[in-house]
Amino acid sequence: MAALAQGEDSDDNMDEFMEKFKTQKYKNAFSESNWEEEFNKVPMFMKTAPENIDPEKHPDLACIQSIIHDDHRTPEEKARSLKDEGNEYFKEKNYKKAIVSYTEGLKKNCMDIELNAILFTNRAAAHFHLGNMRSALNDATAAKKLKPDHIKAIIRGAQCSMELRNYAGASQWCDEGLGLIPTDKKLQELRATADKKKREADRDARKEKIKAKKEQNEKEALLAAIKERGIKLLKTEPSRHRGLDSEDGDGDGGVSRALADLELDGISSQEATGACVYMDEQGVLYWPVLLLYPEHSQTDFISAFCENSSFMDHLAVMFGEELPPWDSERKYQPQNLQLFFEDPEKGNLYQVDLEKSLLNVLQHQRYFRGISSK
């Protein structure tokens, strides 16, 4: 009778509580503006948990966390809870936190081989979505080692190998999986793609090898042609300078570069212009030439100067009818120009006959073609 009387009192109190709503509004009710915020304070409806759980501020969450990490539970129970925790993070696409949870689960060293294989496979999936292909492949390998017939780990291993462009490895993963489940569509598709990519990679490798061999042969032929012409090659550290001046200029404005330094392995240039000496099908050489006018700190660059052309051929064009705007005194006319090159060993300047060909200058007994050492 006492219990019934208490129940009746509770009903009466509830009726009295509900009657109040007829005369006054409930002050703590959710509103349209705050219901999402209030719901997020309830553990059951939380979308994200606080980074650091304070037991005083969040006693309910601390209680849940203590259940998950209860030291009195077995390693298998702890690992399984951490796996579930990681799965929740994974669903939220919070792959970094998922990796932490799976890693903690593996640290429990439980004896459940299948559970450990799942933890490795799930962590591989999280790494995969973060683009950590090497780590993902390592985890897939560890999972397969624990459970050789774990098809999810095999598929993940094949996918990682594909992303790493290890197509032979991807095929091997697929073959192992298809040996277990011959009808698996995902593995069949991966196997076909791996075969196609491997054929393409092999073809590209062959092309690259042929291209490299061709380039090497061309370099060797070019070097032989240069030596046949008696052009002396000299390794240099800094660039050697050559200069071009006008007759009535001061003539001592410093020595400038006329021929861009070139590297013979390169004979190919590493200059910003990318220009280099080359030989055409008729065996004629073309050289990059840089002319500097020290009086005005100006330059002209000829990317392909034929060895059989004279300097006057080019100067007549550059200083013909239309003179450069920087030559305000109109001194740089073809008949006034002088060209010099420098002896890199002695530092002497040698004047060049403008009517002679570039080849004739390159064959001068004191001219050395500099090759920049790398």
Cis? peptide before 266, omega within 30° of 0 = yes
Report the DSSP pairing between strands 232-236 and 243-246.
Answer: unpaired
pLDDT in the model for residue 348: 80
If one compares 27 and 239, the residue with the highest pLDDT of the two is 27
If one compares 250 and 333, the residue with the highest pLDDT of the two is 333
Q: Which of 4-18, 30-44, 345-359 is the least confident region?
A: 4-18
Residue 344 pLDDT exceeds 50: yes
pLDDT digits (tens, 9 = 90+) for 139-171: 999 999 999 999 999 999 999 999 999 999 999
Distance CA 37, CA 31 (A): 10
pLDDT in the model for residue 47: 64
Residue 313 pLDDT exceeds 70: yes
Domain boundaries for CATH 1.25.40.10 within the chain: 67-199
CATH of domain 67-199: 1.25.40.10
If one compares 254 and 9, the residue with the highest pLDDT of the two is 9
Cβ partners under 8 Å of residue 280, min gap 6: 286
pLDDT in the model for residue 330: 83
Q: Give the C-alpha distances (Å, rounded to integers) separating 318 from 55, 155, 301, 304.
A: 84, 67, 11, 15
Structure tokens at 220: 């060797």
Q: Please give the distance of CA 76 from its chain centroid, rounded to a whole number.
A: 41
pLDDT digits (tens, 9 = 90+) for 40-74: 666 656 666 666 666 566 666 666 666 555 567 89
Residue 321 pLDDT exceeds 70: yes
Look over the chain and give the mean of its residue pLDDT values, rounded to a whole number: 79
Cβ partners under 8 Å of residue 9, min gap 6: none
What would the DSSP string read from start to end of 48-84?
Answer: S--SS--TTT-HHHHHHHHHHT-TTS-HHHHHHHHHH
Q: Which of 94-103, 267-276, 295-304 is the least confident region?
A: 267-276
